[in-house]
Structures are given as structure tokens and as C-alpha cells.
Structure 1
Amino acid sequence: MTLLAHAAEDPADSRTYLLNNGTAQRYHRALTESVDRVSATIAGTTRPFTGISVDGLTPTVAAVDLDAPLHDAAAALDELEEVYLRDAVYFHHPRYLAHLNCPVVIPALVGEAVLTAVNSSLDTWDQSAGGTLIERRLIDWTAGRIGLGASADGIFTSGGSQSNLQAMLLARDEACRRELAREGTPSDARLTDVLPRLRILTSECSHFSIRKAATLLGMGAEAVLTVPADDHKRMRADALADELARCRRDGLIPMAVVATAGTTDFGSIDPLPETAELCARYGAWMHVDAAYGCGLLVSRRRHLLDGIERADSVTVDYHKSFFQPVSSSAFLVRDRTTLRHVTYHADYLNPRRMAEQRIPNQVDKSIQTTRRFDALKLWLTLRIMGARAVGELFDEVIDRAADAWKLLHDDPRFDVVVEPSLSTLVFRYVPAGDADPELADRVNLHAREALFASGDAIVAGTKVDGRHYLKFTLLNPETTLEDIATVLDLIAEHAGTFLAAQPRPALSAH
């Protein structure tokens, strides 16, 4: 064996770990073994979680000496089984019913394997080439599904929170631009006057990232005005109209109205056509947070998004209702020129001359610089499965949620809040013959925690009118009505155990 050949197998030679033409076979072996391990784990999963506690798992992870490498992929995978795989939360299990985490489709996992190996960075053309064009094509495809028009554009993002932040940034700067265009006092003085008057209007059921965005943008959470929702948890158009009119009377500037197409808790869809009319009347930027509801774009229920085509910007999360691995999301705008508010040029990266030469650098419209080629996962999903197949999967979980609502509605052990538009159900266990809401809060908190600790199923929790409720989020077409009924029985069992342990009130001596 030559010295060079020996060095290629020597774990002390750090170059042997780099993926290149000389180590491609080593990469193939390591990846194949890891896929085999994960495949076996997924195939053998009998519960969504083992129920291990933080205190139970922390010592195992802490015991790993990161300064003593194993120099062996198989050994590292054995160790990973102990610190991660054995106790991971598995979203593919039909009794994982907690958050907006979906099982993922295999074509997207093929894309994930490709994009991580090639490792393109989507900030500039000279780091991605075809990757840039694929992302741009998918943005155009999504904009077409929304109906934003020929001037639309957008960018892939890390998720809905980032997309909502960029939407509020553009809305703020567009509002400032319009105000500063008015004749009168010097622009610097007027800008100082404009910023404190900007307001964002959104439903009481909207995502917390809207308030977070306002804070990050220096406006403060108080710049977000909460609009009441109706009995179906949709933003009330009449209340929105009243708030917009009040802003005008008080000299405030409604820079944006955020309508939600699929609230996190209730899956409710705000009245998009009415919101669009009000935004046009008051000159407010209309943003639609469709992070959850974007699956309707490929669904037989597309009509539920009617009015979204009039939005100035839209958030979509493919990693929710398109069954993509995290992360796979996008932010889209009706007018591509508004993306100029995040355009900055660096001589070493995207000098201005590149824009003049029409070289497509995606960093020109992103608040990120380095970005993964996450678009490839959606591209391969559409090329292998097709949009219709994705829509069928989303429709199936919506159908299942409708059946589950009937199950809950007819079960006297539970109180369900609202009939779902999408695939979430908010409900709570109601102790028989006891109207004490404090006790019901404790029962439901215990039932959720005990169920999680058992590992038999996972459900989410939230608050409604200050009270603790449980939540099913259905995103797995493999979840059956029987699975849901079993989980309800488990919740009732844990609740009953808790109630049985409560001290009985002392009997009166009389």
C-alpha cells in the first residue's frame, strides 16, 4: 500500500472527511448506513415519544466527550441512537397530534440529500447557478397559484416568522415612503413624526410573530392593534372597519392589516375579500399569513382562499401543509419593486453592476445572506408527486378533522370550541358534575403532561378566554378516527386518575 493510499484511510488525516472526488465512496457508505439506521428506527416506531424527561436525557448527552472523536461513522451512529434517535419526537406517528409538524414526503427527502451534499448557497448566482433559477421558478409558480399577477416576486425563507417580519418591514417602509412624499416639512422631521403613528391591525387569533416583528422593527408591541374575532375565530370585518376609522380620526397611520389564512390554534381563515376592500379604502398594506393554510393552494378547497390574490404580500410554509422537511417556506409580494427595501450591495458579493447586467442575485431581495437550497425539496416533490397529490394529502387531514369534530361534539366528556376550517381542534375535558373552571384547568394540564410522559400520544395545549384547553393538530393522513378516539380515551383516563386523587371535601358535622 502506498503512503498516499494509507493516508486516505488514516482517521488522523482530516482531509479524508471532506466530500470530494476522492472520498465520494466513503460518503456513499456513511450516508447509506445512516439512512439504514433511520429507516429501521422509523419502521420500528411504536409510539411518537418514549416519554423521557429533560432530567432523564440530559446526563446522557452531557457525558459525551466532544474532544474525543470516535473516527468511525458506525460508532457515532450507535452513540446517536442513545442521545437522539431513541428518544426523538416522531411526527410520522399517527398519534402525534400536537403542533404544526407534518410527516414528510420521500421526494423532498431526496432533495434534502442532494442539496446538503452539493451545498449551494442561494445568495448569489455564482454560488448556485441553476439553484437560483429553480427557486425563482418556484416563486413564480406559487405566485401564480395565489394569483398575484405578473409583477409578483419573492424569496424562500426559514419560516413563517421570518416571512412575517419581512412583510412588516416592507409595509413600514412603504408607509414611510408615502408619508414622506407629501409636501411640507423637512423629511427628517417628518420621519420622526411618522414612525410613532404607524399601526398594524390584526386578529386576536393571529400569530405572535406579528407582535414580535413590530418589536424587532423598533415600533414596539403597542403598535399592533388587536381586532376581535367572531364565534368562528375569524377576524371581524366590521371591527376591522371600526379600528381603521378610529386610526384615521386619531391621526394614526394604518401601515398594514394582517389577515390570517389558517390560525395556529383554530385553523380559522379571516375574511380575505372584505379585508382587501378595507385595505384599499384606507391605503393599508394587506399581508396574508397563509403559513398554515397555503396547502389550500393545491387543494379542492382552493375557494377558501378567495381574496388572497389581492394581498400585497403573502407568507407560505411548505413545511406545514405541503409535507416538506423543515425548513421550506417563502415570502411573496405583489409588486417586486417593494423588495428594494431590503436591497444592499457589497462589492465582494453583489456589486451594483451585477444588477445592471441582470445577474440574478437572490440576496438582493432577502433579509438573509447565506441560504440553503431549500427550494429543491419542493421542486422534486412537484416533479415526482405533482401538486394534485400534495393537495389530496392536505384534503385528507381536513376531512379527518371534520370527522373528529363530530366525535368531540357528541362526547359529553369534552367541550370543543369551534368547528374547524382546516385541521385543528381546540377542546377540553370537562369533569362530570363539577363546574369549577379552576379544577378543569388543572385536570387538562395534568392530562396533557401525563399523556406526554407516557409517550402513547402527544397533544398540544393553548388558552381560550384565559382557560387551559387541549389541541389536536392533524397533519398526518395516516391518523385515523380510531387513533383520535383512542387518544381521547387516554386523556379521559389520565383526567380520571387526577380527579380520583383529589381530596374530598370534609363532611359537615350537621
Structure 2
Amino acid sequence: MHTDQTIFAAPAPAASTSNKLLKDIFYQETGPEYFQAVEKAREKVIDFLYNTRQPFSGIKPATIQDAVYSINLDTPLADYDELLTEVNEIYIKHATAFHLPQYIAHLNCPVVIPALAAEVIISAINSSQDTYDQSAGGTFIERRLIDWTAREIGYTHADGIFNSGGTQSNLMGLLLARDHFAINTLGHSIKKDGLPPQAHRFRIFASDKAHFSNLKNAALLGLGEQAIVKVPTDKRFRMDAQALKAAIDEQLNQGNIPVAIVATAGTTDFGNIDPLKSIAAIAADYRLWMHVDAAYGCGLLLSNKHRRLLDGIELADSITIDYHKSFFQPISSSALLVKNKSTLELVKHHADYLNPEEQDYDELPAQVNKSITQITRRFDALKLWCTLRIMGKHKLGIYTDMMIDTAAATAALLQQDPDFDLLSSSDLGILVFRFKPGSLKTDLSALNQAIKKSLFFEGAFIVAGTKVNGNFYLKFTILNPVTTVADIRTILEAIKSRGYSLIEG
């Protein structure tokens, strides 16, 4: 095993406690126990970092399931050596290594080291972000980062809250859109009185390539999946603004009630950005809430070179940001921002034991007033704070530019090779393509699915896949600045070699 050369000195033993029952509680008498546990865990992480050579072990689900379910959870292990040996066997050695360039599948980024340092602090101190008396400085660190993000967007009177991920942030955006419409147009408070009779006619417009969370969230909001109107996209799979306008008019003619538009800044399948300015103009014309799902494309806020691709985002009423995608943060770290901070009053609820109505929240702030589904909430904002303070926006922006440049070079390679069929270029770093060997007649969907599965269980390369118009395609997601064009060439050669082998076999 590779080990680094840093020598860690254990802290001096604290006063021994006669109550051995409490030796596993993190408190002033168990410092040595904490040090031992963290140090041994660190060794496993270092071993994973230095000795993992491919992104996946190739283990089959049934095998790992049997290993996990064979363990008797009612019989504790003797010490941390036994524990971490077990964890290594059933988790670490089979964990997907997102930091390796051979992993090029989903929107999983490598993480930055300052954020990992923050994780140590966050987990041990274990602040909850709901009220000031549980978080103190954490309250203002989170608020400052929301303000910083709002400034980068172009908002001037904004507010927001950290969430668990893009789906939750998107849910919050649609909830605000729904409730804002109901109270301002219908004079009806959904928070107090439930859904109005007209709610089954509420309609939300999103492109047919928007994230599936819109359907799930519409169902959770009591509107049903039928509330989502899928708008056709253009040749690069971006929402067609004229088709959007036509869809709104059609729903109005049917007696339905347009409420909101969801624009996507960085689609999951193509990494492309809807025409934000055009959509904002339509939203203004019809007086609709505009939400932008920038869970992926938010990284463009960091880039001087490509920031223009987000022009118009500042016109949105709400925006989803996933720092754990394009800001290289460990999961989870997401946020929902609103253009008008007063909008968050729609989700405020009071509890006498936590955030009583009579409390002066200028004097004693409470982030729980802004949250819809999380009361106890982890201090994930510290990870982004540490990242910005050590690295700065500029370096993160360089990473963003590197990935976009690599994606552009990859698109060129795919276009130049007659064995590949590239479906679309990308604003960011997602490329959808398929292995298409010359004039050979074969089921291309079955062949490309077989390539993906074969490479995955071999473990050396992990690529993603998706369906477009019923046909299966392979998908690269370039979200790692370490990945080079040379790495891409190696992966493409592996796909091609595997494809021809499957054909011959």
C-alpha cells in the first residue's frame, strides 16, 4: 500500500473516563479515540486514491448484495481495523472512482481538496442550519455564499437557501411558482387552504429534454404529471422559443392555466442551454414565473470565457444551482435562489419551539424560515466557503474552460471518425453519439448497449447511455478537468475495439 510521508502525531491522551460505555461519543474525553478512527479512515482513503487504477471493480450486483446481507449487524466488531477492513471489502474497493479520467459517464465531478477539509469539520461539529442558536457563524457563511452566487447571476434583491440537490431545488422553484400564481392571480393561499379548484388546469412548460424531476415535482405538488407540457426542441435539443409560445397559446385555448416555464441551462443528455433571453421575454409577455434549472450549467458563472452562454439567467424568478456538479463540491451541495427575496415568505412557517412568530429575525436569524423540506440541515455551505477562500473563482473558472475545450476537441474527433455518429455538439461537456461501423447492417441500439454493458463490467471504462427518438446512444459526460484529449482517444479506441469484437463474436 502506498502511504504518504506526513507524520501525524496523536494528541495527548485526555483524562481517562471510568465509564467505558461512553468511549464512542465525540466529547472532550474521547479525543484519542476520535483521532484513531479518523486516522485509520484516512489511510483507507489514501489507499483508494493511490491504488485504484480503473473506475470500477466490475463486481456484479448479486455478489455485493450477498456480501452485505451476510453480515450480522447485531454483532459489533472488535476495533476500527476490523471495521475498516469490512468497509473496504463491501464498499471502498468497489466504489466508482469519479476522479479517474476513464470515468466519463454521469454528472459526477471529482471533488476539490479544500471542500474535503471542510467535510471533516462539518461532520464532527455537526451544526444544524435551521436556527442561529444551532449554527451561529454558519448562518452568515451560508447567507454570504447565497449573496455571492446572486451577484454572479446578476441579481440585486435576491435570497436563497442551500438544499440537498437539484431535484429539491427544482421542487422549491415550482412550489414558489405555483403558490405565487395562486395568491397573486387567484387571491388564494395554497399554504393555508390547499389547492384551489382550478389547480388541475395549472400548466408548467419545459422542454422535452428537461430533467425528469419536473414530472416528479409536479406530482408531489398535487398538480400531477399532466401539468408538465413538453415543448419541442431545436436541432441542438434546446427549447424552441416559438414552439413554447405556440404551446402556451394552445393550452390557453384549451381552457388551461399557464403558471410557469422551466428553462434548462445545461441539459442532462446534451449539455446545451435553452435560449434564456427569448424564454424570459415570453414569460414576461404571459406573466409567467420563469425558473431556470442551472444545476449543471451553473459552472459557467465561473468562466470569463463562456459566461455569455448564461445571458438572460438574471431575468429568471428562481434558479437551481448544483455546486456538487460544476463547482467540484462533495455531495450534497445545491441551492435555490429567488430574484425577489420577499418570495420566500410563501414558505415560512412558525413553530413556538424553533422559530416563533414574535421573534425578531433581524436580530436572531433563522434559515429554517426559507426551507421547504429540511428542518435539520447540514452545514454544506462551509465546503464552498473553503473552496473559494483557497482556490478562488478564477481557478474554478479555468477548470470549467478546460472541460469545455476538451468536449469541443472530443466532438471534433467523433466527427472525423467514420465509425462514430455524433448526434449534437454541446455548450458544456456532454456528447451523445454511437458506434456506427460503416455500412455494416446491424442493430445499432443493441450493439451500443452491449458495448456499454461490456465495458462497465470489465471496469476499465465507464460511459453512459441514453435513448433519443427510441434509439440507444452512448454518452460522454466530461466533468473532470484532469481528463485530456489523449484520455478521450483511449476511450474511443476501447469503444471501437469492443464494438468490432462484439460484431465478430
TM-score above 0.5: yes
Deviations 1:233-270 (A, max 9, x none): 11011111111222333332211100000000100100
Cα–Cα, structure 1 residues 31 and 85, in superposed 2: closer, same or farther, change >3 Å? same
**Partner Cα distance (1:320, 1:14) in 2:** 41
Cα–Cα, structure 1 residues 356 and 21, in superposed 2: closer, same or farther, change >3 Å? closer
1:168: which partner in 2? 174
Of 311, 314, 320, 1:315 maps to 320
What SS does structure 2 have at the residue aligned with 1:471? strand
**Partner Cα distance (1:405, 1:355) in 2:** 56
2:401: which partner in 1? 395
Contact 1:446 1:494 survives alignment (8 Å):
no
What SS does structure 2 have at the residue aligned with 1:353? coil
**Partner Cα distance (2:360, 2:208) in 1:** 42
Question: What amino acid is the match of 2:337?
Answer: L
2:357: which partner in 1? 352
Contact 1:211 1:224 survives alignment (8 Å):
yes
Of 144, 149, 152, 1:137 maps to 144
Contact 1:299 1:394 survives alignment (8 Å):
yes
Of 246, 250, 254, 2:250 maps to 246
Gaps of 5+ in 2: 1-14
Of 324, 328, 331, 2:336 maps to 331
Contact 2:16 2:29 survives alignment (8 Å):
no
Q: Does 1:374 align with 2:380?
A: yes
Of 48, 56, 74, 2:55 maps to 48
Q: Does 1:100 align with 2:107?
A: yes
What SS does structure 2 have at the residue aligned with 1:352? coil
1:14: which partner in 2? 21
**Partner Cα distance (1:423, 1:490) in 2:** 20
Q: Does 1:408 align with 2:418?
A: no
**CA shift for structure 1 position 110:** 0.6
Contact 1:431 1:440 survives alignment (8 Å):
no
**Partner Cα distance (2:312, 2:54) in 1:** 41
2:16: which partner in 1? 5
**Partner Cα distance (1:325, 1:440) in 2:** 37
**Alignment coverage as a number of residue pairs:** 486
**Partner Cα distance (1:193, 1:235) in 2:** 30
**Partner Cα distance (1:176, 1:359) in 2:** 31
**Partner Cα distance (1:162, 1:356) in 2:** 25
Deviations 1:209-232 (A, max 9, x none): 011110111111111111111001
**Equivalent runs, 1:468-483 vs 2, <5 Å:** 468-483=472-487
Deviations 1:38-61 (A, max 9, x none): 112211111001111112222221
Gaps of 5+ in 1: 502-510
Contact 2:17 2:29 survives alignment (8 Å):
no
**Partner Cα distance (1:153, 1:18) in 2:** 37
Q: Does 1:485 align with 2:489?
A: yes
TM-score (norm 1): 0.93
Question: What amino acid is the match of 1:195?
Answer: A
Q: Does 1:306 align with 2:311?
A: yes
**CA shift for structure 1 position 356:** 5.4
Cα–Cα, structure 1 residues 142 and 50, in superposed 2: closer, same or farther, change >3 Å? same
Contact 1:148 1:311 survives alignment (8 Å):
no
**Equivalent runs, 1:212-223 vs 2, <5 Å:** 212-223=216-227
Question: What amino acid is the match of 2:284?
Answer: A
**Partner Cα distance (1:122, 1:95) in 2:** 37
Contact 1:176 1:194 survives alignment (8 Å):
no
Deviations 1:153-212 (A, max 9, x none): 000000000000011101001111122239xxxx989x6442122100011110000111
**Partner Cα distance (2:459, 2:317) in 1:** 44
**CA shift for structure 1 position 498:** 2.0
**Partner Cα distance (2:108, 2:21) in 1:** 37
What SS does structure 2 have at the residue aligned with 1:461? strand
**Partner Cα distance (2:160, 2:67) in 1:** 43
Question: What amino acid is the match of 1:143?
Answer: A
Question: What amino acid is the match of 1:90?
Answer: A
RMSD (CA atoms): 1.7
**Partner Cα distance (2:401, 2:40) in 1:** 35
**CA shift for structure 1 position 354:** 2.0
**CA shift for structure 1 position 495:** 1.8
Of 280, 286, 291, 1:282 maps to 286
**CA shift for structure 1 position 80:** 1.1
**CA shift for structure 1 position 339:** 1.1
TM-score (norm 2): 0.93
**CA shift for structure 1 position 135:** 0.3
**Partner Cα distance (1:14, 1:268) in 2:** 56
1:505: which partner in 2? none
**Partner Cα distance (2:479, 2:471) in 1:** 25
Q: Does 1:146 align with 2:157?
A: no
Q: Does 1:430 align with 2:436?
A: yes
Contact 2:270 2:426 survives alignment (8 Å):
yes
Deviations 1:430-469 (A, max 9, x none): 1332355xx1111011000000011011000101111000
Contact 1:115 1:373 survives alignment (8 Å):
yes
Question: What amino acid is the match of 1:381?
Answer: T
**CA shift for structure 1 position 470:** 0.6
Question: What amino acid is the match of 2:401?
Answer: D
What SS does structure 2 have at the residue aligned with 1:257? strand
What SS does structure 1 have at the residue aligned with 2:359? helix
**Partner Cα distance (2:467, 2:386) in 1:** 39
**CA shift for structure 1 position 7:** 3.8
1:506: which partner in 2? none
Contact 2:77 2:83 survives alignment (8 Å):
yes
Q: Does 1:448 align with 2:452?
A: yes
**Partner Cα distance (2:173, 2:262) in 1:** 9
Cα–Cα, structure 1 residues 108 and 409, in superposed 2: closer, same or farther, change >3 Å? same
Between the aligned residues of both structures, percent identity stands at 50
**Partner Cα distance (1:48, 1:145) in 2:** 34
